[in-house]
């Protein structure tokens, strides 16, 4: 007992690697105690975890370059991490990597409203950008549901989307330039001064969405937009989810591009109505659509009329237009609680993220229903319906033996369905560690080889975020073996 007590009191000392990192960034910017590291075991994807060797908070680009070079010399792999809101395990250490945290590089460096651009550090929080320019009439378009926490650097890594990406596009459509530290420590600039039309290969597009496997982004030039002159929001309740699906197709086919076109099914509605922002949605509907139109004020009413007509011709039970900003905000707060609200109706849940051609929605929903019955697990469905981007939420209880495994299998089968109809296994959450096994659903061996060859160009020794996106089983096993012997 006494010995145990004394053991607790013995303060863990930084190992040689942590000490060398402190020489670069200062003692106060390195975490190495087990109790400090535990928060970095996983990101928003919690099904797999691993301990980092240390966490280093960099303050500037030179720090990143110096840290990377030092870790290369030591042979210690590393991972860049933003706010840790990622949903596929992209920032989860699998083998005792050092985490390079970018959250203290969080400045807005430059604002150029005349040329509609802003330059930010990677740790700058998404929502802050819009907040800091909204009084001048501007905003930053990509709006992941986690936007009050996630960083723009993380958004670049995952090529994040959001509800309003139907009209405005995902992160890659809003990035004008990047400063990047390559895994060899070199600093490169892509799309200098925000001129995106660079000759040569599209490195800007290549880095965006590369899930932190090609380089570490240290500065980002983004495109900012003028606030739309007007905005209107419609809520439409349907008794039959196929009617709701058809309404989605008819709206798009009719030539309207809403700013957002969201769908929630019955179980998802049960969730959000049990959470922090209940709207009073009827509990006996099959689905609702939340549709927002924005743009030149004069054109909006005509588009809303067209949308109401489409809903009515698809047997909508009830449809209404938000009467004021307060009502609109409530509808959106309710929608954005979607994932978190599952906690109110299930002990655990697994979010999936597939993409399908919009017109295949009814068929895909039927197959997801069949998966739900097969695994005896409820599945809620939240969609960026206009984009064909589905989020099946598989509800389970990790305390019931076998349920986690059944949930993971059900999730994988949902992705197989998306792949079968010509879709994709991820719309906006990335592959990370969660979906690397499913990559072969949509890529041939040749296609995977082209991808991994690109990683090899930038990251030849697999020092940056190893084992992500395209796991190399040998390498992962090796890293995991190292970890067992590492003195974390």
Applying the rule CB under 8 A, the residues between 452 and 471 that interact with a copy of itself are: 453-458, 469-470
Q: Which of 39, 115, 131, 309 binds a copy of itself (CB under 8 A)?
A: 115
Which of 296, 373, 485, 487 touches a copy of itself (CB under 8 A)? 296
Per-residue contact string for residues 79-98; x = within reach of a copy of itself by CB under 8 A? --------------------
Task: Please identify, using beta-carbon distances, which residue of 15 and 189 lies nearer to a copy of itself.
Answer: 189
Q: Does residue 174 belong to the site contacting a copy of itself (CB under 8 A)?
A: no
Q: Using an 8 Å Cβ cutoff, are 88 and 45 in contact?
A: yes
304 lies in the site for a copy of itself, by CB under 8 A:
no
- Is residue 435 a contact residue for a copy of itself (CB under 8 A)? yes
Q: Does 132 bind a copy of itself (CB under 8 A)?
A: no
Query: Using CB under 8 A, which of 33, 276, 302, 370 touches a copy of itself?
Result: 302
CB of 158 to a copy of itself, least distance (A): 10
Contact with a copy of itself (CB under 8 A): which of 38, 39, 422, 461?
422
301 belongs to the binding site for a copy of itself (CB under 8 A): yes
Phi, psi of 280 (to 5 degrees): 90, 30
Report the C-alpha gap between 294 and 71 in whole angstroms: 48
Chain positions 308 to 327 lying near a copy of itself, rule: CB under 8 A, are: none
CB-CB contact of 437 with 94 (8 Å): no
Minimum distance from CB of 299 to a copy of itself (Å)? 3
The stretch near a copy of itself (CB under 8 A) out of 35-43, 91-99, 339-347, 440-448 is: 440-448
**Which of 123, 153, 194, 392 lies at the binding interface for a copy of itself (CB under 8 A)?**
194
Q: Is 188 in the site for a copy of itself (CB under 8 A)?
A: yes
Q: Which of residues 397-416 bind a copy of itself (CB under 8 A)?
A: none
> In the set 36, 149, 205, 404, which binds a copy of itself (CB under 8 A)?
205
* CA–CA distance, 221 with 187 (Å, rounded to integer): 16
**Residue 434: which H helix or E strand, with range?**
none
Q: What is the DSSP letter of 347?
A: S
Contact indicator for 81, 150 with CB cutoff of 8 Å: no
Is 111 near a copy of itself (CB under 8 A)?
no
210 binds a copy of itself (CB under 8 A): yes
**Please, which of residues 218-277 interact with a copy of itself by CB under 8 A?**
226-227, 229, 249, 252-253, 255
C-beta pairs of 116-120 under 8 Å, 24+ apart in sequence: 116/223, 116/224, 116/225, 116/226, 117/176, 117/194, 117/221, 117/222, 117/223, 117/224, 118/221, 118/222, 118/224, 119/177, 119/194, 119/219, 119/220, 119/221, 119/222, 120/152, 120/219, 120/220, 120/222
- The verdict on 284 binding a copy of itself (CB under 8 A) reads no
Measured N-to-C along each axis, helices 403-420 and 361-375 cross at an angle, to the nearest 10 degrees, of 160
Nearest distance from C-beta of residue 247 to a copy of itself, angstroms = 14
In angstroms, rounded to a whole number, what is the distance separating the alpha carbons of residues 28 and 378? 46
* Ordered DSSP codes for 170-213: -GGGGEEEEEEE-TTS-EEEESGGG----SSS-HHHHHTTSTTS
Full 3-state SS string of 54-114:
EEEECCCHHHHHHHHHHHHHHCCCEEEECCCCCCCCCCCCCCCCEEEECCCCCCEEEEECC
Bridge partner residues of 234 (DSSP): 291, 321
Q: Does 450 bind a copy of itself (CB under 8 A)?
A: yes
The Cα-based distances of 380 to 55, 242, 254, 368, 460 in angstroms read: 36, 16, 29, 10, 41
Answer yes or no whether residue 389 interacts with a copy of itself by CB under 8 A. Answer: yes
CB-nearer residue toward a copy of itself: 281 or 435 = 435
Q: How far is the CB of 129 from a copy of itself (least distance, A)?
A: 18
Q: Is 477 in the site for a copy of itself (CB under 8 A)?
A: no
SS3 content of the chain, % helix, strand, coil (to 5): 40, 20, 40
> Residue 230 CB, nearest distance to a copy of itself (Å)?
9
476 binds a copy of itself (CB under 8 A): no
Smaller CB distance to a copy of itself: residue 272 or 355? 355
The answer to whether 355 contacts a copy of itself (rule: CB under 8 A) is: yes
Among 22, 330, 442, 488, binds a copy of itself (CB under 8 A): 442
* C-beta separation of 224 from 118 below 8 A: yes
Find the angle CA(265)-CA(270)-CA(271) to the nearest 5 degrees: 100
Q: Which of residues 33-72 bind a copy of itself (CB under 8 A)?
A: none
């Amino acid at each position: 007992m006494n010995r145990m007590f004394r053991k607790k009191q013995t303060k863990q000392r930084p190992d040689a690697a942590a000490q060398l990192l402190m020489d670069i960034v200062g003692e106060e910017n390195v975490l190495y105690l087990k109790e400090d590291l535990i928060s970095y075991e996983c990101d928003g994807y919690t099904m797999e975890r691993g301990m980092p060797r240390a966490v280093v908070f960099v303050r500037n680009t030179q720090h990143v370059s110096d840290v990377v070079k030092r870790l290369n010399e030591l042979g210690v792999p590393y991972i860049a991490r933003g706010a840790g809101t990622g949903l596929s395990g992209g920032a989860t250490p699998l083998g005792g990597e050092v985490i390079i945290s970018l959250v203290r590089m969080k400045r807005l460096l430059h604002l150029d409203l005349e040329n509609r651009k802003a330059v930010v550090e990677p740790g700058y929080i998404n929502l802050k950008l819009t907040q800091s320019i909204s009084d001048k009439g501007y905003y930053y378009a990509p709006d992941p549901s986690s936007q009050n926490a996630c960083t723009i650097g993380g958004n670049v890594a995952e090529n994040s989307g959001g509800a309003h990406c139907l009209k405005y596009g995902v992160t890659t459509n809003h990035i004008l330039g990047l400063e990047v530290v390559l895994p060899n420590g070199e600093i490169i600039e892509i799309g200098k001064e925000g001129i995106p039309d660079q000759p040569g290969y599209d490195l800007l597009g290549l880095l965006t969405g590369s899930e932190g496997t090609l380089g570490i982004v240290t500065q980002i030039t983004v495109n900012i937009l003028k606030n739309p002159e007007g905005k209107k929001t419609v809520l439409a309740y349907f008794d039959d989810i196929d009617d709701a699906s058809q309404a989605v197709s008819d709206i798009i086919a009719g030539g309207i591009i809403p700013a957002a076109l969201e769908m929630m099914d019955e179980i998802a509605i049960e969730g959000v109505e049990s959470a922090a922002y209940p709207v009073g949605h009827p509990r006996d509907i099959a689905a609702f659509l939340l549709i927002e139109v924005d743009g030149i004020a004069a054109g909006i009413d005509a588009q809303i009329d067209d949308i109401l007509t489409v809903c009515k011709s698809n047997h909508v039970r009830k449809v209404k237009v938000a009467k004021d900003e307060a009502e609109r905000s409530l509808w959106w707060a309710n929608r954005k609680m979607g994932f978190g609200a599952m906690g109110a109706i299930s002990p655990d849940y697994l979010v999936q993220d597939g993409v399908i051609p919009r017109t295949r929605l009814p068929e895909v929903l039927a197959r997801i229903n069949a998966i739900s019955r097969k695994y005896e697990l409820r599945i809620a469905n939240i969609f960026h319906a206009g984009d064909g981007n589905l989020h099946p939420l598989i509800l389970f209880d990790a305390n019931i033996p076998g349920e986690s495994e059944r949930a993971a299998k059900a999730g994988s089968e949902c992705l197989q369905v998306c792949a079968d109809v010509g879709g994709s296994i991820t719309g906006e959450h990335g592959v990370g560690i969660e979906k690397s096994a499913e990559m072969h659903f949509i890529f041939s061996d040749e296609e995977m080889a082209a991808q991994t060859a690109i990683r090899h160009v930038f990251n030849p020794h697999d020092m940056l975020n190893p084992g992500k996106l395209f796991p190399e089983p040998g390498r992962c096993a090796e890293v995991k073996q190292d970890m067992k012997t590492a003195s974390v």
